[in-house]
């Protein structure tokens, strides 16, 4: 694979302007849609510079929890919550930092690849600058496009197609473009909501490689239904479960290896071994 050359190069010269990755801490987080409670007092530490995987069956509140982490939850008009989320110790819901700034610090990659269809590949990468009105010189923008695409492991595939529309790429490439787009605003945390569920196995493997590449420079929280994937990519894992008609809660969380091989709760063992869910 020809990309190795670049990746090695990149590892040897980590971009100097990168902000340090941050830790996220959730304490007693509950969430409602209207009067329907979907999440029950979740406590979770997502350590800086590590990959945290959120696993569990569908409808157990993982995605809601993820969307609470960068204040996307409140886009639903009826949504409410309680508890605290802290980014390096600062409460993201009660602090002075505006929500837009907070979302820049905590980036997000969605389940379905969603590059902006009206923008080219390169415009997609620097969309964050345009959207928040940040001025940058031509050469800065060019450098940013190249470095982000390289970190997302996409540069070699698209370097001759930077002027193509974002939607013209394959599904896997689109998702990596979305990762590059999220990285371009220099977040210290990157949230990923089932980023591979719409992709084929080859593309999934490329995304996992990308996650491994960027994990040292940005904290990653990933929701996944794929047990092997969670096992492969994460250092920490949390198992969510929702009982019949009850809100979702964390059954168990901690070191990924322990959770998968020697969990404390029998339900976790059943789930990671594919016996339900």
Partner 1 sequence: MPNLTTPDIATTNIEMTAVPDLIETEQRIGLRSIDPTAVFAVVGAAFGAMAFVWLLFTQFTAAGTNIGMFVVWYLVFITMIWVIGREQYDPVRARDLVARVVFWSAGLIIVVPMIAIATYTIAKGVTALTPNFFFQDQSRVGPLSPARVGGASQAIVGTLEQVAIAAIISVPLGILVAIYLNEVGGRLARVVRTIVDAMSAIPSIVAGLFIFASFILAFGGQLSGFAAGLALAVLMLPTVTRTTEVVLRLVPGGLREAGLALGATEWSTTRHVVLPTARSGIVTAVILGVARVIGETAPLLLTTLGAVSMNWSPFEGKQSALPLYVYRLFQLPQEVAIQRAWTGALVLLILVFVLFVTARIIGGRGPGHISRFRRARLAREGLA
Partner 2 sequence: MQVIDPSIALEGTTPIEEERVRPVTRRTGADRAFRLTTFGAGTLTLVLMGVIGLFLLVRSWSAISAAGLSFFTTSAWQPDGGAFGIAAVLLGTFLIAFVALGFAVPLAAGGALFITDYAPSKIKTPLVWLVDLLAAVPSLIYGLWGRAYLQPKIIPISEWISTHLGFIPFLKAKPGAGFAASTFIAGVVVALMVLPICTAVMREVFSQAPAGEKEGALALGGTRWGVVRDVVLPFGRGGMVGASMLGLGRALGETIAVTLIISPTFDITRLTHPLETGGNSIASLIALRFSESSSFGISALMAAGLALFVITLLVNAVASLVVSRSRSGASTEI
Site residues (CB under 8 A) for partner 1?
A: 70, 72, 75, 100-105, 107-108, 110, 112, 114, 116-120, 122-123, 127-128, 130-133, 138, 141-142, 145, 162-163, 165-168, 170-172, 178, 181-182, 185, 198-202
Answer yes or no: are the C-beta atoms of 103 and 153 closer than 8 Å.
no
Helix, strand, or coil here: 37?
strand
Integer Cα distance of 150 and 153 in angstroms: 5
Picked from partner 2, partner 1, none, the partner binding residue 266 (CB below 5 to 8 A depending on kind) is none
Q: Residue length, the chain?
A: 277
Number of helices (H), then strands (E), belonging to the chain: the values are: 12, 10
Integer Cα distance of 112 and 145 in angstroms: 22
Closest separation in Å from C-beta 144 to partner 1: 10
**Identity of the residue, 81 or 145, whose beta carbon is nearer to partner 2 in the bound complex:** 81
Integer Cα distance of 48 and 95 in angstroms: 20
Closest separation in Å from C-beta 66 to partner 1: 11
Picked from partner 2, partner 1, none, the partner binding residue 213 (CB below 5 to 8 A depending on kind) is none
Sign of CA dihedral 175, 192, 211, 152: positive
**Identity of the residue, 107 or 248, whose beta carbon is nearer to partner 1 in the bound complex:** 107
Picked from partner 2, partner 1, none, the partner binding residue 33 (CB below 5 to 8 A depending on kind) is none
The Cβ-side half-sphere exposure at 100, using a 13 Å CA radius, reads: 6
Integer Cα distance of 39 and 14 in angstroms: 38
Picked from partner 1, partner 2, none, the partner binding residue 141 (CB below 5 to 8 A depending on kind) is partner 1
Closest separation in Å from C-beta 97 to partner 2: 9
Picked from partner 1, partner 2, none, the partner binding residue 57 (CB below 5 to 8 A depending on kind) is none
**Identity of the residue, 128 or 247, whose beta carbon is nearer to partner 1 in the bound complex:** 128
- Which residue, 272, 176, 174, is CA-closest to 229? 272
If one asks whether residue 130 binds partner 2 (CB under 8 A), the answer comes out as: no
Site for partner 2 in 192-231 (CB under 8 A): none
- Which residue, 3, 7, 46, 2, is CA-closest to 212? 7
Picked from partner 1, partner 2, none, the partner binding residue 89 (CB below 5 to 8 A depending on kind) is partner 2
Other CB atoms within a 10 A radius of the CB of residue 111 amount to 15
For residue 146, give both structure tokens.
């190249």
Site for partner 2 in 75-104 (CB under 8 A): 79-84, 86, 89-91, 93-96, 98-100
Helix, strand, or coil here: 272?
helix
**Identity of the residue, 30 or 122, whose beta carbon is nearer to partner 2 in the bound complex:** 30
- Which residues are at the interface with partner 2 (CB under 8 A)? 25, 27-28, 30, 32, 41, 43, 45, 71, 73-74, 79-84, 86, 89-91, 93-96, 98-100
């Amino acid at each position: 694979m020809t990309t190795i050359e670049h990746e090695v190069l990149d590892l040897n010269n980590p971009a100097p302007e990168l902000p340090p990755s941050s830790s996220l801490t959730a304490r007693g987080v509950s969430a409602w849609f209207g009067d329907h409670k979907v999440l029950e007092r979740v406590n979770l530490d997502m350590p800086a510079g590590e990959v945290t995987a959120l696993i569990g069956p569908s409808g157990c509140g993982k995605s809601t929890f993820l969307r609470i982490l960068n204040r996307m939850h409140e886009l639903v008009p009826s949504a409410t919550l309680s508890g605290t989320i802290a980014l390096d110790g600062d409460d993201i819901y009660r602090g002075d930092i505006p929500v837009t700034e907070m979302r820049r610090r905590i980036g997000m990659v969605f389940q379905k690849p969603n590059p902006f269809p009206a923008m080219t590949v390169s415009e997609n990468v620097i969309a964050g600058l345009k959207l928040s009105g940040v001025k940058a010189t031509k050469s800065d923008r060019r450098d940013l496009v190249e470095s982000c695409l390289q970190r997302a492991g996409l540069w070699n595939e698209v370097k001759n197609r930077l002027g193509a529309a974002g939607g013209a790429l394959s599904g896997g490439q689109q998702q990596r473009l979305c990762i590059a787009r999220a990285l371009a605003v220099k977040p210290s945390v990157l949230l990923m909501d089932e980023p591979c569920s719409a992709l084929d196995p080859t593309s999934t493997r490329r995304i996992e490689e990308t996650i491994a590449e960027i994990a040292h420079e940005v904290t990653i929280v990933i929701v996944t239904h794929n047990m092997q994937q969670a096992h492969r990519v994460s250092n920490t894992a949390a198992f969510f479960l929702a009982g019949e008609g009850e809100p979702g809660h964390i059954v168990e969380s901690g070191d990924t290896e322990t959770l998968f091989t020697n969990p404390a709760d029998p339900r976790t063992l059943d789930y990671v071994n594919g016996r339900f869910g």
